[in-house]
Structure 1
Amino acid sequence: MTATPLPDMILEPLVRAALLEDLGTYGDITTRTVIPAATRYTARLNAREAGVVSGLQVAALAFRLVDPALVITAHKADGDSIAPGDLLMEIEGRAASILSAERVALNFAGRLSGIATMTAAFVARTQGTATRVTCTRKTTPGLRLVEKQAVLHGGGFNHRFSLSDAILIKDNHIAAAGGIRPVLQAVKAQASHMIRCEIEVDRLDQLAEVLDEGGAEVVLLDNMDTATLREAVAMAKGRVVLEASGNMRLDRIAEVAATGVDYISSGALTHSAQTLDLGLDF
């Protein structure tokens, strides 16, 4: 999926922090010891397994932050499908600079490509339906922005980025506030007209209460079996957006999408994706 690249100035703090962590207090002493400063090379970032690539923009930024003189040639773009052996990027310049940025660049690209690849697998199971696959806030601390971008590269959609994006009333909010009606009444009385509200339910009687009270545009159907999800869609009759969540395994996505829910959200896209095998070869 094509996603608009993020400005480098937004990504730079994330990449800079990773480079500072890796370079430590004295830089890359191995490279400085064994590689003559004038040595130049062309390195190739290659795919070692099939998937959907993400993180190339971040990887390129890692190389440029270490050495702005490096010449980077992209052969694939974030969101492209890749096969083993595909050339993704070439980096030409001082060998020492390339080696010093290598691990950070690969960590980002491999991790984000894994998320994009897993997302694409989920999305493929929704073919023929109107259901969209979306991520959650179950992201790596500090990396939410790029991990959610990777979900877009895999063909998915983004849920809220932070607690300040939208109102999402969970079971603990309902318990603390005294019930569904009190929380929805509070939303109608206090929330800005610019803010959407989503509320979580795990039973059909709760859904009925939400539909009767009003005040929420989206209802999160939490940990419902497929038959119950189908009943929920019939009850709602399009009056609210329905999001199915909880226990959304890859082998279950097709049957959940077939119920007619609008969205399927899965934390697994970002917390359980396996790193895609990419390599930097001189």
Structure 2
Amino acid sequence: MIFFQTHEIEAWINEDAPLIDLTSHLLGIENQPSRLSVRSRHPTRLTMMEEAARIFELLGAEIIFVMPSAADVDAGSLILQVEGRADALHRGWKVAMNLLEYLCGISTLTAQMVSEVQQVGDIPLLVTRKHLPGMKKPMIKAILSGGAHPHRLGLSETVLIFENHLNLIGGRDSLPDRLPKIQAAACEKKISVECDTYEQALQAALAGTDLIQFDKVEVGLLNQWCSQLKTQFPQLKIIIAGGIRPDNIRLYAQSGVDGIVLSSLYHAKPADLGVTIELL
């Protein structure tokens, strides 16, 4: 699972409360021993639980109970409980809740989409790098907790040739010359080419690409194209990106693709969690 360094979590705390909890200070409740409890208000796939707990630990609180990331909980379930000074609990409250609500929303929707795909077969759900800058690690942990996989962790990891690359090397007609050279230089990597049409995919396959990534192709056409390409090129892998939604993902999973790529999970509705702080 993703590892978060202590200084990263300290930066989250410092961003929200760099000096004191002014409200607790003015109310004179800073030293009061208190208990903070977090409960789910609907069925939720959890994520970032360990990091939420570490927020309170760094503030001097004691962890009484914490559910693990990737666990499924029902409405009303206790997922985190900590005890400590009132100012520490208030200082960590919103930092932890913002992380949990946004990211548990992502992991919950991810788990739902993965479940839809699994009704068809063992086809991976691949989530892109179209996340907010600076949020890669939390968002990757969220989709992993939901049962999906990263599509590309970064530009340094994979070779995926887009139209904008092709515009700079003479177009798609340059692929037969370029692909063997790339495959020799990056012999441990698979080479992927994004395509919008069957003709583009056929050209890339004939040039020797390992994988075709179709973009925004209607599912009926995709069925035909997958069948035709895999008949002629049995080793060719095909994935689909763009336009994948909860109401159509099962149809795309039935099209013959080897993987489904999407970014919409990052825009999931936040989870609804409730927090109570009370005196010990």
Q: Same fold (TM over 0.5)?
A: yes
Change in Cα spacing, 1:244 to 1:97, as seen in structure 2 (3 Å) is: same
Aligned partner (choices 23, 35, 53) of residue 60 of structure 1: 53
1:200 maps to which residue? 194
Give the letter aligned to residue 123 of structure 2: T
Give the letter aligned to residue 202 of structure 1: D
Query: RMSD over aligned Cα, in angstroms?
Result: 1.7
1:82 and 2:82 matched: no
1:110 and 2:104 matched: no
Query: Is 2:30–2:87's contact at 8 Å kept on the other side of the alignment?
Result: yes
Give the letter aligned to residue 75 of structure 2: P
Change in Cα spacing, 1:64 to 1:209, as seen in structure 2 (3 Å) is: same
Give the letter aligned to residue 190 of structure 2: R
Q: Residues 1-282 of structure 1 correspond to what in structure 2 (within 5 A)?
A: 4=1, 6-9=2-5, 12-24=6-18, 26-67=19-60, 70-126=61-117, 127-183=119-175, 185-190=177-182, 191-214=185-208, 216-237=209-230, 238-270=234-266, 272-282=267-277
Q: TM-score, normalised by structure 2?
A: 0.91
1:22, distance to aligned residue in structure 2 (A) = 0.7
Gap runs ≥5 in structure 1: none
Query: Is 2:179–2:207's contact at 8 Å kept on the other side of the alignment?
Result: no
Query: Is 1:181–1:213's contact at 8 Å kept on the other side of the alignment?
Result: no
Paired with 2:174 and 2:56, the residues of 1 have a C-alpha distance of 53
1:107, distance to aligned residue in structure 2 (A) = 0.6
- Give identity over the alignment, percent: 25
1:196, distance to aligned residue in structure 2 (A) = 2.7
Query: Is 2:34–2:86's contact at 8 Å kept on the other side of the alignment?
Result: yes
1:279, distance to aligned residue in structure 2 (A) = 2.0
Paired with 1:255 and 1:233, the residues of 2 have a C-alpha distance of 13
Paired with 1:106 and 1:142, the residues of 2 have a C-alpha distance of 18
Paired with 1:167 and 1:225, the residues of 2 have a C-alpha distance of 25
Query: Is 1:120–1:154's contact at 8 Å kept on the other side of the alignment?
Result: yes
Q: Which is worse superposed, 75-84 or 185-194?
A: 185-194
Change in Cα spacing, 1:181 to 1:60, as seen in structure 2 (3 Å) is: farther
Q: C-alpha deviations, 1:231-280, integer Å up to 9, x for none?
A: 2211332422211111111111011001121111111011x111101122
SS in 2 for 1:250: coil
Q: Which is worse superposed, 222-231 or 126-135?
A: 126-135
Q: C-alpha deviations, 1:173-208, integer Å up to 9, x for none?
A: 122222234256434314322333221001000110
Paired with 1:164 and 1:197, the residues of 2 have a C-alpha distance of 13
Query: Is 1:201–1:221's contact at 8 Å kept on the other side of the alignment?
Result: yes
Change in Cα spacing, 1:258 to 1:105, as seen in structure 2 (3 Å) is: same
Paired with 1:185 and 1:17, the residues of 2 have a C-alpha distance of 49
Q: TM-score, normalised by structure 1?
A: 0.90
Paired with 2:175 and 2:101, the residues of 1 have a C-alpha distance of 42
Paired with 1:16 and 1:38, the residues of 2 have a C-alpha distance of 21
Give the letter aligned to residue 102 of structure 2: R
Paired with 1:14 and 1:56, the residues of 2 have a C-alpha distance of 15
Number of matched pairs: 271
Paired with 1:137 and 1:8, the residues of 2 have a C-alpha distance of 18
Gap runs ≥5 in structure 2: none
Change in Cα spacing, 1:258 to 1:54, as seen in structure 2 (3 Å) is: same
